[in-house]
Amino acid sequence: MTDEPIRILIADDHPIVRAGLRAVLQTEPGMVVVAEAATAEEAVARAAVGDVDVVLMDLQFGRGMGGAEATAQITARPDAPRVVIITTYDSDADTLPAIEAGATGYLLKDAPPEELAAAVRTTAGGRTALAPSVADRLVNRLRVPGAALTRREGEVLALVADGLSNHAIAAELHLTEGTVKSHLARIYAKLHVESRTAAVAAAVNAGILRR
Protein backbone atom coordinates (compact mmCIF):
# COMPACT_ATOMS: atom_id res chain seq x y z
CA MET A 1 0.00 0.00 0.00
CA THR A 2 1.47 3.35 -1.02
CA ASP A 3 1.23 6.61 0.90
CA GLU A 4 1.40 8.64 -2.30
CA PRO A 5 -1.75 10.69 -2.97
CA ILE A 6 -4.05 9.89 -5.86
CA ARG A 7 -3.34 12.52 -8.52
CA ILE A 8 -6.44 13.74 -10.35
CA LEU A 9 -7.12 15.59 -13.60
CA ILE A 10 -10.56 17.21 -13.92
CA ALA A 11 -11.80 17.59 -17.52
CA ASP A 12 -15.01 19.58 -17.98
CA ASP A 13 -15.91 22.57 -20.12
CA HIS A 14 -17.83 24.32 -17.31
CA PRO A 15 -15.59 26.25 -14.87
CA ILE A 16 -18.19 26.01 -12.11
CA VAL A 17 -18.32 22.22 -12.39
CA ARG A 18 -14.53 21.98 -12.30
CA ALA A 19 -14.43 24.25 -9.25
CA GLY A 20 -17.09 22.16 -7.51
CA LEU A 21 -15.29 18.90 -8.17
CA ARG A 22 -12.00 20.40 -7.02
CA ALA A 23 -13.61 21.68 -3.83
CA VAL A 24 -14.98 18.24 -3.01
CA LEU A 25 -11.81 16.32 -3.80
CA GLN A 26 -9.44 18.71 -2.02
CA THR A 27 -11.16 17.89 1.26
CA GLU A 28 -10.49 14.18 0.81
CA PRO A 29 -7.38 12.71 2.44
CA GLY A 30 -4.95 11.11 0.02
CA MET A 31 -6.12 13.00 -3.04
CA VAL A 32 -4.71 15.95 -4.94
CA VAL A 33 -6.03 17.71 -8.03
CA VAL A 34 -2.97 18.26 -10.19
CA ALA A 35 -4.63 19.84 -13.23
CA GLU A 36 -7.83 20.89 -14.97
CA ALA A 37 -8.79 20.81 -18.65
CA ALA A 38 -11.56 22.75 -20.36
CA THR A 39 -11.57 20.63 -23.54
CA ALA A 40 -11.20 16.95 -24.34
CA GLU A 41 -8.12 17.73 -26.41
CA GLU A 42 -6.49 19.43 -23.42
CA ALA A 43 -7.35 16.42 -21.26
CA VAL A 44 -5.67 14.01 -23.66
CA ALA A 45 -2.53 16.14 -23.81
CA ARG A 46 -2.38 16.70 -20.04
CA ALA A 47 -2.99 13.02 -19.21
CA ALA A 48 -0.05 12.09 -21.45
CA VAL A 49 2.38 14.00 -19.19
CA GLY A 50 2.44 11.00 -16.88
CA ASP A 51 1.68 12.52 -13.48
CA VAL A 52 -2.05 11.68 -13.35
CA ASP A 53 -3.62 8.60 -11.76
CA VAL A 54 -7.32 9.30 -12.38
CA VAL A 55 -9.07 11.51 -14.96
CA LEU A 56 -12.57 12.77 -14.19
CA MET A 57 -13.98 13.15 -17.70
CA ASP A 58 -17.14 14.90 -18.87
CA LEU A 59 -18.87 13.30 -21.87
CA GLN A 60 -20.15 16.36 -23.70
CA PHE A 61 -17.82 19.26 -24.48
CA GLY A 62 -18.97 22.37 -26.31
CA ARG A 63 -16.83 21.82 -29.40
CA GLY A 64 -14.34 19.39 -30.81
CA MET A 65 -13.62 15.96 -29.39
CA GLY A 66 -16.08 14.27 -27.03
CA GLY A 67 -15.35 12.55 -23.77
CA ALA A 68 -15.61 8.99 -25.12
CA GLU A 69 -13.07 9.68 -27.87
CA ALA A 70 -10.75 11.37 -25.38
CA THR A 71 -11.09 8.38 -23.06
CA ALA A 72 -10.08 6.02 -25.86
CA GLN A 73 -6.99 8.09 -26.65
CA ILE A 74 -5.99 8.37 -22.99
CA THR A 75 -6.43 4.70 -22.15
CA ALA A 76 -4.62 3.54 -25.30
CA ARG A 77 -1.29 4.71 -23.90
CA PRO A 78 0.98 2.48 -21.80
CA ASP A 79 0.58 3.04 -18.05
CA ALA A 80 -2.47 5.19 -18.74
CA PRO A 81 -4.42 6.79 -15.92
CA ARG A 82 -7.87 5.47 -15.05
CA VAL A 83 -10.78 7.42 -16.49
CA VAL A 84 -13.99 8.06 -14.58
CA ILE A 85 -16.81 9.54 -16.65
CA ILE A 86 -18.84 12.07 -14.69
CA THR A 87 -21.84 13.34 -16.59
CA THR A 88 -25.56 14.07 -16.52
CA TYR A 89 -26.31 11.37 -19.11
CA ASP A 90 -26.94 7.69 -18.32
CA SER A 91 -28.53 6.32 -21.52
CA ASP A 92 -26.99 3.39 -23.37
CA ALA A 93 -26.09 5.80 -26.15
CA ASP A 94 -23.74 7.52 -23.70
CA THR A 95 -22.58 4.83 -21.28
CA LEU A 96 -21.70 2.06 -23.72
CA PRO A 97 -19.34 4.04 -26.00
CA ALA A 98 -17.57 5.43 -22.92
CA ILE A 99 -17.10 2.02 -21.32
CA GLU A 100 -16.04 0.49 -24.65
CA ALA A 101 -13.51 3.32 -24.93
CA GLY A 102 -11.87 2.20 -21.70
CA ALA A 103 -13.55 4.10 -18.87
CA THR A 104 -13.37 2.17 -15.59
CA GLY A 105 -15.86 4.42 -13.80
CA TYR A 106 -19.12 6.11 -14.70
CA LEU A 107 -20.87 8.51 -12.33
CA LEU A 108 -23.69 11.00 -12.63
CA LYS A 109 -23.12 14.61 -11.62
CA ASP A 110 -25.81 14.40 -8.96
CA ALA A 111 -23.85 11.71 -7.10
CA PRO A 112 -23.10 12.59 -3.46
CA PRO A 113 -19.52 13.68 -2.66
CA GLU A 114 -18.75 10.47 -0.79
CA GLU A 115 -19.71 8.43 -3.88
CA LEU A 116 -17.38 10.51 -6.03
CA ALA A 117 -14.48 10.04 -3.61
CA ALA A 118 -15.15 6.32 -3.37
CA ALA A 119 -15.18 6.02 -7.17
CA VAL A 120 -11.81 7.77 -7.42
CA ARG A 121 -10.29 5.43 -4.84
CA THR A 122 -11.89 2.35 -6.40
CA THR A 123 -10.70 3.09 -9.94
CA ALA A 124 -7.25 4.16 -8.75
CA GLY A 125 -7.02 0.70 -7.20
CA GLY A 126 -7.75 -0.93 -10.54
CA ARG A 127 -11.41 -1.77 -10.02
CA THR A 128 -14.61 -0.55 -11.67
CA ALA A 129 -17.01 2.02 -10.21
CA LEU A 130 -20.41 2.45 -11.86
CA ALA A 131 -23.46 4.49 -10.93
CA PRO A 132 -26.24 2.10 -9.83
CA SER A 133 -28.48 2.97 -12.80
CA VAL A 134 -25.61 2.27 -15.22
CA ALA A 135 -24.67 -0.99 -13.54
CA ASP A 136 -28.31 -2.17 -13.58
CA ARG A 137 -28.62 -1.43 -17.28
CA LEU A 138 -25.41 -3.28 -18.16
CA VAL A 139 -26.53 -6.32 -16.17
CA ASN A 140 -29.90 -6.29 -17.92
CA ARG A 141 -28.18 -6.14 -21.31
CA LEU A 142 -26.12 -9.20 -20.39
CA ARG A 143 -29.26 -11.04 -19.31
CA VAL A 144 -31.00 -10.27 -22.62
CA PRO A 145 -28.15 -10.02 -25.14
CA GLY A 146 -30.45 -10.37 -28.14
CA ALA A 147 -32.10 -7.06 -27.31
CA ALA A 148 -28.85 -5.13 -27.38
CA LEU A 149 -28.38 -2.85 -30.36
CA THR A 150 -25.03 -2.72 -32.08
CA ARG A 151 -23.22 0.60 -32.18
CA ARG A 152 -24.25 1.12 -35.82
CA GLU A 153 -27.86 0.27 -35.04
CA GLY A 154 -27.74 2.80 -32.23
CA GLU A 155 -26.39 5.43 -34.62
CA VAL A 156 -29.15 4.71 -37.12
CA LEU A 157 -31.85 4.88 -34.45
CA ALA A 158 -30.48 8.15 -33.06
CA LEU A 159 -30.75 9.70 -36.52
CA VAL A 160 -34.28 8.32 -36.88
CA ALA A 161 -35.08 10.06 -33.59
CA ASP A 162 -33.69 13.27 -35.06
CA GLY A 163 -36.24 12.98 -37.87
CA LEU A 164 -33.90 12.00 -40.72
CA SER A 165 -35.16 9.97 -43.66
CA ASN A 166 -33.50 6.73 -44.76
CA HIS A 167 -31.85 8.65 -47.58
CA ALA A 168 -30.46 11.27 -45.19
CA ILE A 169 -29.30 8.62 -42.71
CA ALA A 170 -27.49 6.78 -45.50
CA ALA A 171 -25.71 9.99 -46.51
CA GLU A 172 -24.82 10.86 -42.90
CA LEU A 173 -23.35 7.42 -42.12
CA HIS A 174 -21.94 6.75 -45.61
CA LEU A 175 -24.17 3.71 -46.12
CA THR A 176 -26.56 2.60 -48.84
CA GLU A 177 -30.29 3.02 -48.26
CA GLY A 178 -30.60 -0.76 -48.42
CA THR A 179 -28.15 -1.11 -45.53
CA VAL A 180 -30.09 1.46 -43.52
CA LYS A 181 -33.31 -0.49 -44.13
CA SER A 182 -31.57 -3.69 -42.99
CA HIS A 183 -30.43 -2.00 -39.79
CA LEU A 184 -33.97 -0.73 -39.19
CA ALA A 185 -35.42 -4.20 -39.70
CA ARG A 186 -33.08 -5.62 -37.06
CA ILE A 187 -33.85 -2.71 -34.72
CA TYR A 188 -37.59 -3.34 -35.07
CA ALA A 189 -37.10 -7.04 -34.35
CA LYS A 190 -34.97 -6.41 -31.26
CA LEU A 191 -37.35 -3.80 -29.86
CA HIS A 192 -40.49 -5.73 -30.86
CA VAL A 193 -41.96 -2.81 -32.80
CA GLU A 194 -43.16 -2.20 -36.34
CA SER A 195 -42.54 1.49 -37.00
CA ARG A 196 -39.95 4.23 -36.68
CA THR A 197 -42.00 6.14 -34.10
CA ALA A 198 -42.53 3.04 -31.98
CA ALA A 199 -38.82 2.17 -32.20
CA VAL A 200 -37.82 5.60 -30.90
CA ALA A 201 -40.38 5.45 -28.09
CA ALA A 202 -39.29 1.96 -27.06
CA ALA A 203 -35.62 2.94 -27.14
CA VAL A 204 -36.23 5.98 -24.94
CA ASN A 205 -38.23 3.90 -22.46
CA ALA A 206 -35.47 1.29 -22.36
CA GLY A 207 -32.74 3.88 -21.85
CA ILE A 208 -31.15 3.12 -25.21
CA LEU A 209 -31.69 6.67 -26.43
CA ARG A 210 -31.21 9.80 -24.36
CA ARG A 211 -34.46 11.40 -23.21
Give strand ranges (E) for the chain. 6-11, 31-37, 54-57, 82-87, 105-108, 129-130
pLDDT beyond 80 at 94: no
Output phi, psi for 101, to 5 deg: -75, -15
Task: Enumerate the CATH 1.10.10.10 domain ranges in the chain, comma separated.
Answer: 145-205
pLDDT tens digit sequence for 132-172: 877 776 766 655 545 678 778 888 999 999 999 999 999 99
Tell me which of 3.50.50.60, 1.10.10.10, 3.30.230.10, 3.40.50.2300 is the CATH number of domain 6-141.
Answer: 3.40.50.2300
At residue 113, the 3 state secondary structure works out as helix
At residue 206, the 3 state secondary structure works out as coil
Q: Give the residue-averaged pLDDT of 2-27.
A: 92
| Beta carbons of 31 and 8 less than 8 angstroms apart | yes
Which residues contact residue 189 at a Cβ distance below 8 angstroms, ignoring those fewer than 6 apart? none
Tell me which of 3.30.1340.10, 1.10.260.40, 3.40.190.10, 1.10.10.10 is the CATH number of domain 145-205.
Answer: 1.10.10.10
- Mean pLDDT across the chain: 88
Can you give the pLDDT at residue 1?
Answer: 43
